[in-house]
Amino acid sequence: GTISYRYGHTVARYDMFKKRVLDDIKNDPYGRYHICNLWQEEEFKNRPDGLKPCAYETIWTVTGNKLNMFLNQRSGDLLAASGAGGINEVQYAALLMMVARDTGYEPGIFTHFVANEQIYDRHVNQAIELLNRAELLETKSSETDTMPQLVLNPDKKNFYDMCIDDFSIQDYEPMSPQIALELGI
């Protein structure tokens, strides 16, 4: 399978992110319409190939000096994508950090709703291994107070100037062996 013309293509085609998120938060921070929705029926009709977006909508709110983001997702692969530490969680946390920086706010609360969360049968053994490792992590986290942190380069202010190289992960100690998770599309 393929995601085809989804996500970035949809955002670019409708220029929705700049207009509906960045500009609106700067010009009307307490407005109720800071929404970026990738569920575009017209796109699905025009380009029926490809997967419909899983993570399809972000809603942004300002509370004091904090920018909060709500992510709606129709379906998610718990281990590889939509669960804690999965690619969806990390990429949208990074997006919140980038938008907050560009608009002059601190990152606030990231709320992630997944309607249909699943563990694929091809991931059952990895899920069992992760549960076994969780006990080790609980012991370790009670011994130290450090948790991994995703950090955005403090010199970067403009959303469109930021890139993946502007992020670093601090206090991360990976466990061995690494667990491989095949993504399902």
Indicate which residues carry an active-site annotation. Answer: 54
Give the integer Cα–Cα distance in Å for 95 and 102: 11
Q: Is 58 exposed, middle or buried (0-12, 13-18, 19+ CB in 10 A)?
A: buried
CA distances from 68 to 29, 142, 155 (A): 11, 29, 22
Confirm if 74 and 56 have CB atoms less than 8 A apart: yes
Helix (H, G, I), strand (E, B) or coil at 18: helix
Rounded to a whole number of angstroms, the CA Rg of the chain reads 18
Classify residue 123 by its DSSP letter: G
Tokens of 53: 């977006």
Task: Name the phi and psi angles at 172, rounded to 5.
Answer: -105, 125
